[in-house]
Amino acid sequence: MELTDDTLRDLHRRMVRIRLFEEAAGRLAEANKLPGFLHLYVGEEAVAAGVCVALTDEDQITSTHRGHGHLVAKGGDFNRMMAELMAKSTGYCKGKGGSMHISDLELGMLGANGIVGAGTPIAVGAGFANKYRDNGKVAAAFFGDGATNIGAFHEAANMACALKLPVVFVCENNEYGEFTPRHKTMAITDIVDRAVGYGMPSVMVDGMDAVAVYEAAVEAVARARAGAGPSLIEAKTYRYYNHHGVQNLGLKYRPDAEVERWKERDAINGIQARMAEAGVMTPDQAEAVWAEIRADIDAAIKFADESPTPDPSMLLVDVYSQNVEAL
């Protein structure tokens, strides 16, 4: 498997897109411009980017409460994303879903999900559909370390293996579920240990290294496409901001030094250094990417800002496929 310069650029671009989108969202939240909950993905960009570069636009993903990064990585449109976070009618969900339910079925992004673990059986369903149609597509399920403690994940992982479905399970192990460290909620250190119980191949990768994630994903996706069944990728990663919102709350549940240690290994810095060294992208060229995406973000914020809120008549629309009358 050759790692092309274009792939590096692609990984970089998707990560920068996530980073800038998320930081903008954070600023908007601090300015009280985003209603509801906001779970930022900043720090974990390499995972979404690495996996999504290994997928085609036709493959599917399911996501979590921390879902913007996944949608951006899958090719999500900033305008419609920003509008959704601001609860505007031009948003992906017409303002009805918000951050936790952002989705783009045309891109195969089957939804962020507010219920921890609940996306994993849905990915199994998508994988089933792929196998049923023999279309060579793959479904990837993103989920956290904490999510591997919930029954739905277990059932999904086992069923995918029992039915040998084209599914890739991607665990974003950021060492915390909300404010509780991993060691309080499981007696293991590595999520890959769970794959054993399903007879599923697994690999542990540095989630701060987009190339490592990408390479693992390429292998897992190839296995799935070849009909050899599911795999588990555990990416060790870290979120820079709080569980939700931006600032840490009063409670210090993570030592500052720990946060700093992870930030030193920042995935975007890492890939930029690598590309600079390999002559793939100069710092100036990198800066141009940032600048271009920054402009896109600004445009998206403007688009969202100027978009209308949903019309009250929309309240009862889309409860059912052929709309029934209000009761």
Partner 1 sequence: MTATEVEVRQLPYVMAFNEAVRQCMREDENIFCAGEDIGAFGGVFGTFGGLQKEFGERRVVDTPISEQAIVGLGVGAAVMGLRPIVDLMFMDFMCVAMDQIVNQAAKLKYMFGGTARIPLTITCGGGAGLSAAAQHSQSLEALLCHIPGLKVVVPSSPYDMKGLMVSCIREDNPTVMVKHKRMLGVSGPVPEELYAIPLGVANIVRPGTDVTVVAYGRMVSEAMLAAEQLAEEGVECEIVDPRTLQPLDSATIVASARKTNRVVVVHEAVRFGGIGAEIAAQIQEEAFDYLDAPVGRIGAPFSPVPFSPVLEAIYIPNAARIADGIRATFGRPARSV
With CB under 8 A as the contact rule, the residue among 33, 77, 129, 164 that binds partner 1 is 129
Regarding 245 and contact with partner 1 (CB under 8 A), the answer is no
Between CA 306 and CA 301 the distance in angstroms is: 8
Distance of CA 207 to the CA centre of its chain: 12
Regarding 26 and contact with Mg ion (CB under 5 A), the answer is no
Regarding 177 and contact with ligand TPP (CB under 6 A), the answer is yes
Query: Which residues have a Cβ under 8 Å from the Cβ of 250 and sit 6 or more positions away?
Result: none
With CB under 6 A as the contact rule, the residue among 178, 298, 305, 306 that binds ligand TPP is 178
Query: Which part of the chain contacts its own copies (CB under 8 A), choosing from 46-54, 185-193, 251-259, 294-302?
Result: 185-193
- Please report, as residue ranges, which positions from 228 to 257 form the binding site for ligand TPP (by CB under 6 A): 243
Between CA 321 and CA 299 the distance in angstroms is: 33
Angle of CA points 63, 173, 254, to nearest 5°? 115
Nearer to partner 1, 1 or 324 (CB): 324
Regarding 198 and contact with its own copies (CB under 8 A), the answer is yes
Whats the size of the chain, residue-wise? 327
Query: Which part of the chain contacts Mg ion (CB under 5 A), choosing from 19-27, 131-139, 146-154, 306-314?
Result: 146-154
Q: Which does 174 bind (CB under 5 to 8 A by kind): Mg ion, partner 1, its own copies, none?
A: Mg ion
The minimum distance between CB 27 and partner 1, in angstroms, equals 18
Nearer to partner 1, 149 or 285 (CB): 149
For residue 315, the tally of other CB atoms under 10 A from its CB is 11
Rounded to 5 degrees, φ, ψ at 111 are: 110, 130
User: Can you read off the two tokens belonging to residue 12?
Assistant: 């970089």
**Do residues 165 and 227 make contact, with C-beta atoms less than 8 angstroms apart?**
no
**Do residues 119 and 62 make contact, with C-beta atoms less than 8 angstroms apart?**
yes
Diameter of the chain measured on Cα atoms: 64
Regarding 226 and contact with its own copies (CB under 8 A), the answer is no
To which residue do tokens 């908007």 refer?
Answer: 28
Between CA 183 and CA 188 the distance in angstroms is: 7
Regarding 145 and contact with ligand TPP (CB under 6 A), the answer is yes
Three-state secondary-structure class, residue 126: helix
Nearer to its own copies, 135 or 180 (CB): 180
Regarding 120 and contact with Mg ion (CB under 5 A), the answer is no
Amino acid at 63: S
- Please report, as residue ranges, which positions from 96 to 115 form the binding site for partner 1 (by CB under 8 A): 96-98, 100-101, 103-106, 110-111, 113-115
Regarding 258 and contact with ligand TPP (CB under 6 A), the answer is no
Nearer to its own copies, 117 or 207 (CB): 117
Please report, as ranges, the residues that interact with Mg ion according to CB under 5 A.
144-146, 174, 176-177
Q: Which residues of this protein are in contact with ligand TPP, per CB under 6 A? A: 65-66, 114-116, 144-147, 172, 174, 176-178, 243
